Amino acid sequence: MEESSKTLAYRDYIQREEMFVRAPYNPEVEFYSYIMSGDTAMVEKLTEENFLAKRGGWGRLSENELQNVKYHLVITAAVIARYCINAGLPVQTAYNLSDHYIMLADKCKTVQAVADLHKPLCMDYAKRMRSLQKNAVHSIHIVRCMDYIYDRLHTRITVKELAAYSGLSEAYLCRLFKEQTGSSISDYITKMKISTAKNMLLFSDYPIAEISSILAFPSQSYFTRVFKKECAVTPLEYRHTRGI
C-alpha cells in the first residue's frame, strides 16, 4: 500500500467518516470506547447531533416522555462511568461525575434540556480520560512524543525523528521515556499499534492484511506474530472470538 493511501486509510479509521454506513456490530460499544480512550475529537464529532433527543429505537422506560429521557441519561452516565473506571479513572471521580449530571438532569423541565446534557457528559469523561493518560507523565517532551506517535501510527516511527521533534538527544529521550512511561519507545509504539489494530479488527471491515499495511508493519506475518505475542491469539482469532 502506497504511503499516501496508508495515510488516508489511517485517517479514515481515526475520523470514522463512514462509521454509520459500515454498521459495526455494536455502535454503542464503539462510542463508549472512544470516551474510554480519551478520543475527544471523535466524541466531539459523534455528539454534534443530539441523538439522545432524536435517535429512534430507544426503549420505553416511562410513559412520561420527560421521565423516559431522564432514565436514558442515567443509564448512559452509569455505563460511561463503568467503562472509564475499567480504563483507570478513579472510582470516586467517575461516580461523582455521574452523580453530577444525573442531578442536573433531575432538575430539567423539558426533554430538550435533558438531551442537551448528553454532549457535555460525554466530553467531560473523554477529557478526563485523555488527561489521565497524559498526567501519568510529567515532561511536556514525552506528552508531545505520545501525541506524535498516535498521529503517525500509519508510519514507521523512529527514535531519531522523535528526538528531532522533541529537541532532545536520542539517548536522553529514550531514558526519559522509559522513566516516565515504564516502556521503551519501541515497545510503546508497538502497544499503540496493536491497540489500534484490535479496534480496527472489532469495529471495521478492513482485511487483516490491510490493517497490517495501514499500521506500517513490514509484513502480515510479522504483524500476526507481534499481535499473538501481545494478545495470545492471532488477529483472525481475535476478530472471530469477539463476534465479528
CATH topology assigned to domain 139-241:
Arc Repressor Mutant, subunit A (1.10.10)
Confidence (pLDDT) at 174: 96
Residue with cell 506474530: 225
Confidence (pLDDT) at 54: 53
Q: Kindly give the confidence (pLDDT) of every residue in the chain, 244 residues in length, as a single tens digit, with 9 standing for 90 and above.
A: 566 666 766 666 665 433 333 333 355 677 888 898 888 888 988 888 655 555 544 567 788 989 989 998 999 999 899 888 877 788 888 888 999 999 999 999 999 999 999 999 999 999 999 888 766 656 788 878 987 888 888 999 999 999 999 999 999 999 999 998 889 999 999 998 998 888 788 777 889 999 999 999 999 999 999 999 999 999 999 998 865 4
> What single letter denotes the amino acid at residue 10?
Y
- CA-to-CA distance for 45 and 56, rounded, in angstroms? 19
Torsion angle, alpha carbons of 106, 109, 113, 115, to 10: 60
Please choose, from the candidates 221, 209, 220, 215, the residue with its C-alpha nearest in 3D space to the C-alpha of residue 194.
215
Whether the model clears a pTM of 0.85, i.e. scores above it, the answer is no
Region of residue 191 (phi > 0: left; psi between -120 and 50: alpha; otherwise: beta):
alpha
